[in-house]
Amino acid sequence: MNTTSLISLSIGLVLLGTGISADASVYSVMNQIDVSGNVQGTTNQYGNTMGGLGVRGSLFSQGFFGTAKFRHQFGPAFDGYTGGDSNTLGLKVGYLLPASPFLAVGPYLGYEYNHFTENNGYSGYHASQGLDNIGGGLYAAASLPFANVTGYLGYLGGVSETSQVSGFPPLRYNRATDLLQMGVNVYYPLMANLNFYVGLHDDDFTEAGAPNLLRGDVGLGASF
C-alpha cells in the first residue's frame, strides 16, 4: 500500500465516523496503555521485512492529550546484513476539539527519535544512524458503533543526525532528513476496559539514506 492509499484509508475511516451515531465515548481510547506486535517493511533501498514489539501510553484531560510510544524491531532495516535492529521513541502533545458528539479533531506537536543499526558478522562491519525530528500535525478520534478509531497525519522536520561506521569516529549533522508520518488504529472492545486493536502506519523520510517504513500492528490495550 502506498502513501496515497494510506491517507485515503485514514480520511475514509474518520469520515465514516462523522456519518454514524455511536453510544461509546469518542475519548474511550485516549486514556490507555497498550502493547503490540508488528510486522514492518522498508519500502526503499533493498528494504528488509522484520518483526517487532511496542508499548504505548495515552492520556486525555479537558481536551488536552499526550501520547508516548517505544518500539523495537528485531532486525536491520535493509537487506544484506546478518544483524541489526531499530528503536523508536515518539511523543505527541495536542488538543482535541469536538467536531460532533462522536468525532474530535485537533493539532498536535510531535517529537520522534529513530535509531537504526546494521552489521555484517562475516566482515565485522557495523553502522548506525540516529535521527531526531520535531514538528506537528493533525490528530483525530472517532467513535463508531462497532469500534473506536484514532488517526494522525504529521510532518516532522529534521533536527540532527548522528552516523557511525566501525573504525571511524561518529559524525553529527545539524540538518537531517524530514519525516512525513501517518497512521490509523481501530480499537475493538473485548471486555470491561480491554481493547483489541489493529493499526497501519507509514513513516517516510524525505532524504536518501534513511528507510521508509510501512508497519502493521496488532495489540491489546487497557483503558483507565
pLDDT more than 70, % of the chain = 88
Highest average pLDDT, of 14-23, 95-104, 128-137, comes from 128-137
Domains of the chain: residue spans and CATH: 3-223 (2.40.128.90)
- The residue among 65, 70, 86, 6 whose CA lies nearest residue 35 is 70
15 pLDDT band (50/70/90 cuts)? very low
**What mean pLDDT value characterizes the chain?**
87
Q: Please state, in angstroms and rounded to a whole number, the distance separating the CA atoms of residues 152 and 29.
A: 14
Q: Does residue 136 carry a pLDDT above 70?
A: yes
10 pLDDT band (50/70/90 cuts)? low
Q: DSSP letters along 40-103, please? A: EEE-SSSB-EEEEEEEEEEEEETTEEEEEEEEEESS-SBSS-SEEEEEEEEEEEEE-EEEETTE
- Range with the lowest mean pLDDT among 10-14, 37-41, 174-178? 10-14
Tell me what the mean pLDDT of segment 24-38 comes to: 83
Tell me what the mean pLDDT of segment 166-195 comes to: 88
Q: Does residue 95 carry a pLDDT above 80?
A: yes
27 pLDDT band (50/70/90 cuts)? low
pLDDT of residue 19: 36
Across the strands, what pairs with 128? 117, 164
Q: Please state, in angstroms and rounded to a whole number, the distance separating the CA atoms of residues 217 and 113.
A: 19
pLDDT more than 90, % of the chain = 62
Q: Does residue 30 carry a pLDDT above 50?
A: yes
What global pTM score does this model have?
0.85
Assess contact for 128 and 115: CB atoms under 8 A. Answer: yes
pLDDT of residue 22: 32
